Amino acid sequence: MAGEELGSKPNRRTAEERLEVAEERLALAEAALEKARAKRNQEAARTRALLKREDDRLKVLVGAAILQQCRMGLREPLEVMAMMETFLERAREREFVLGAVEGGTGSGVFWRNVEREEAEGLPDGVEDWPEPENLFPVSGD
């Protein structure tokens, strides 16, 4: 076998071929990394969306409980309005709840939702509804 070096393999790749194979492997690894990052970002976005839905649900339920307390006479609507006066910052939200950006007396939507519920009649055996302050007595000293 003339012209062949002793100990060399006849199918050995050239340096250029090895570089080409390495670049292909690098491209595949980079694509896999990008795919993994995209999946991680999707999962993070899904988690953030779930947390936001949970937070929003909590806010709705707490707000509904406060409005129900007003309807039952356990909380004064003016107290809620004062609380909202300090809480709300956006003009659109202030107008929606308070009826005006500054010094509102409550929007129609607010008053419709805090209006005290009138019972159609007392249950059998009940002569009068207790006053709200007597529902939850505070123990004295």
Res 13: pLDDT:
81
* Structure confidence by residue, pLDDT tens digits, 31-79: 999 999 999 999 999 999 999 999 999 999 999 999 999 999 999 999 9
Distance of CA 93 to the CA centre of its chain: 18
- For the chain, what is the mean pLDDT? 84
Res 141: pLDDT:
47
Res 4: pLDDT:
54
- pLDDT tier for residue 100 given thresholds of 50, 70 and 90: confident
Which of 81, 87, 72, 70 is closest to 106 using CA atoms? 81
Which of 87, 106, 109 is closest to 98 using CA atoms? 106
Instruction: Look up the pTM and report it.
Output: 0.60
Share of the chain above pLDDT 70, in %: 75
Res 55: pLDDT:
96
